[in-house]
Amino acid sequence: MDQPSPAPPALNRIQGNWLAASERRLLTWLCARMPAWVTPDKLTALGMVGAVMVFAGYLASNLGTIWLALSIAGYAVQWFGDSMDGSLARYRKIERPSYGYFIDHSCDGLANLLIVAGIGLSPFVTMDVAMIALAGYLLMSIHAFLSARVLGEFRLSYAAAGPTELRLMLIAMTVLMMLVGTGHTVIGRISGFDLFVGAIGAILIVLFVVQTIVIGRQLALSERR
């Protein structure tokens, strides 16, 4: 009979974003009030539904900016599902560390692909710029997974910002899209929304380089012979 795989070592979750404490209190309050039929897997699926809503809203904004309201609602649904699945598992003490880690972060990658692709398919941001932002996100994801392996730390925030703060920035950008509309450029064919999304991508890429150097030096010192 095959033996079950040993549980992976517990990771030290590091979350120092501005809204972390308030968000944790809210999530704990919600977990205490979730009916029994709500499960972490269902919440994970709900988060993916939210990501599809975001994608559909940006894509449909080619027909009219009113469709961006669907993206804004999608961000809220995606936050709820993505933030609550692990929180509920920990609250009910029904964690499945390997399964949860694998499924949660696999869905995160797909959800962010949908969101960024949707932004790139909207009439507000070019796909080239959106892909820079996606590259930055993927690099930081790689960094987080590598750090979890070599340091035993899973960092959920950098520079006092995390996924929730990023969602709020994207919601604010989407509201501006609805108010400003299309056809407004600042440099040639580049819009202000291009600059904003491109800046987020550039910051993530620079942060990846800096954090790689910092942790690389830290590992070199700890393993010096």
In degrees and rounded to multiples of 5, residue 37 shows phi and psi of -75, -15
pLDDT, tens digit, for every residue of 126-174? 999 999 999 999 999 998 888 888 887 777 667 667 788 889 999 999 9
Contact between residue 17 and residue 164 where contact means Cβ atoms under 8 Å apart: yes
Question: Measuring CA to CA, which residue among 13, 173, 178 is closest to residue 86?
Answer: 13
Cα separation, 149 vs 212, whole angstroms: 14
Query: Where residue 49 falls among pLDDT bands split at 50, 70, 90?
Result: very high
> What's the pLDDT tens digit per position in 19-33?
778 888 999 999 999
Beta carbons within 8 Å of 215's beta carbon, 6+ residues apart:
147, 150, 151
Q: Pick one of 1.20.120.1760, 3.90.79.10, 3.40.309.10, 3.40.50.720 as the CATH number of 13-222.
A: 1.20.120.1760
Q: What is the pTM of this model?
A: 0.86
| Cβ pair 152, 57 in contact under 8 A | no
